[in-house]
């Protein structure tokens, strides 16, 4: 019966001895190599002696005020340097170093109305880390997609994922001052029904009107057009095309500038929020940790 066992690796000398050899060969100096590795010159010389005894041949020619690689040393040095380079690259890839590319997928409105307005501070803090944004509302398959983090709305509990709450996804009607003035102002919730309603099929409208005590609304009979994102509906509302139901935290600037007005203090809340999520197994990856710490601090700022 043939031997199907895996071939055994050839015995290797101590890793410390190989590391010292690489440094000495690169500097051609025991003193500089010892300084780089944080050891004494005597300790570096001892590690080279150990390696030479394993190989059975000298690796360096010791001359007054200089050293040179012997023929065996010249053969070994490039292979050792390449091996350490490959090991370093593999370690950086496995560790997911903070340098490189960070891929974030987020819903469109959060990207345009919050993330795009704040991302510059993250880039200044991490200039070596490029950020790629993907706007999508579909669920993310971290096992199959090249995505590091996702920002989604929901209840915040997804198996295998770490989740951090960013903003409450509350909702309340907003419209342009001009549209409100077109009916002499909006003084009570029922007044909104005298105006075009953007995306009347949105469940948020039904929930808000019920909370406001408005019965007998005609939302189900209105044209069921939908723009698919709060950002689009807000633009339509600012243009005076209708009343949108929006999340307050994402439209602070538009309200402050007077482009949108929130006519009522009543705010609906179905328990959903915007969450930062990523695989639990990758919670300590430096670039993920850097973005998580930044966005949580940024959200906490008033």
Q: Residue 229's domain is classified under what CATH number?
A: 3.40.190.10
Structure tokens at 202: 């949105």
Lowest mean pLDDT among 6-20, 83-97, 115-129: 83-97
Identify whether residues 199 and 67 lie together within a single domain: no
> Total structural domains in the chain?
3
For residue 163, is it within any domain? yes
Domain boundary pick from 95, 121, 140 = 95
- pTM (global) more than 0.75: no
Identify whether residues 160 and 282 lie together within a single domain: yes
Identify whether residues 145 and 284 lie together within a single domain: yes
Q: Give per-residue pLDDT as tens, 170-227.
A: 999 999 999 999 999 999 999 999 999 999 989 999 999 999 999 878 887 887 678 8
- 163 in Cβ contact with 157 (< 8 Å): yes
Domain boundary pick from 74, 95, 116 = 95
- pLDDT, residue 281, reads 87
Q: For residues 72 and 48, what is the distance between their CA atoms, to the nearest angstrom?
A: 13
Q: For residues 146 and 79, what is the distance between their CA atoms, to the nearest angstrom?
A: 33
- 113 in Cβ contact with 251 (< 8 Å): yes
Identify whether residues 56 and 28 lie together within a single domain: yes
Identify whether residues 191 and 143 lie together within a single domain: no
For residue 207, is it within any domain? yes
- Give SS3 for 52: helix
Closest CA to 196 of 233, 229, 228: 233
For residue 262, is it within any domain? no
Identify whether residues 89 and 109 lie together within a single domain: no
Q: Residue 21's domain is classified under what CATH number?
A: 1.10.10.10
Q: For residues 284 and 264, what is the distance between their CA atoms, to the nearest angstrom?
A: 43
Q: Could you tell me the residue range of the domain that residue 179 belongs to?
A: 171-257
For residue 2, is it within any domain? no
Sign of CA dihedral 49, 51, 56, 61: negative
**Confidence class for position 291, pLDDT limits 50, 70, 90:** very high
Q: For residues 52 and 60, what is the distance between their CA atoms, to the nearest angstrom?
A: 9
Question: Per-residue DSSP letters for 206-273?
Answer: HHHHHHTT--S--GGGS-----SSHHHHHHHHHTTS-BEEE-GGG-HHHHHTTSSB---S--B--S-E
Identify whether residues 72 and 113 lie together within a single domain: no
Q: Give per-residue pLDDT as tens, 73-113.
A: 999 999 998 888 787 666 666 655 556 899 999 999 999 99
């Amino acid at each position: 019966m043939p031997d199907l066992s895996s071939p055994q690796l050839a015995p290797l000398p101590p890793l410390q001895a190989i590391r010292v050899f690489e440094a000495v060969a690169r500097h051609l100096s025991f003193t500089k190599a010892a300084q780089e590795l944080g050891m004494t010159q005597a300790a570096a010389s001892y590690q080279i002696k150990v390696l030479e005894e394993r190989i059975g041949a000298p690796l360096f020619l010791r001359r007054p005020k200089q050293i040179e690689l012997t023929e065996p040393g010249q053969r070994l040095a490039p292979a050792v340097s390449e091996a350490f380079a490959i090991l370093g690259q593999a370690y950086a890839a496995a560790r997911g170093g903070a340098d490189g590319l960070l891929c974030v997928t987020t819903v469109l409105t959060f990207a345009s109305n919050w993330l795009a307005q704040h991302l510059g501070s993250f880039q200044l803090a991490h200039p070596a880390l490029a950020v790629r944004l993907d706007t999508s509302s579909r669920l993310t398959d971290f096992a199959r997609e090249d995505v590091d983090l996702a920002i989604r709305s929901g209840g915040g509990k997804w198996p295998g994922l770490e989740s951090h709450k960013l903003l409450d996804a509350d909702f309340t009607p907003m419209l342009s001052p001009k549209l409100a003035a077109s009916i002499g102002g909006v003084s009570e919730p029922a007044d909104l029904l005298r105006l075009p309603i953007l995306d009347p099929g949105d469940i948020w409208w039904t929930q808000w009107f019920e909370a406001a005590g408005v019965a007998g609304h005609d939302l189900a009979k209105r044209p069921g057009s939908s723009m698919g994102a709060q950002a689009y509906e807000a633009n339509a509302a600012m243009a005076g095309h209708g009343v949108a139901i929006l999340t307050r935290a994402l439209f602070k600037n538009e309200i402050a500038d007077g482009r949108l007005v929130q006519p009522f203090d009543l705010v609906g809340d179905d328990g959903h929020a915007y969450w930062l999520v990523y695989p639990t197994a990758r919670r300590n990856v430096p670039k993920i940790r850097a973005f998580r710490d930044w966005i949580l601090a940024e959200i906490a700022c008033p």
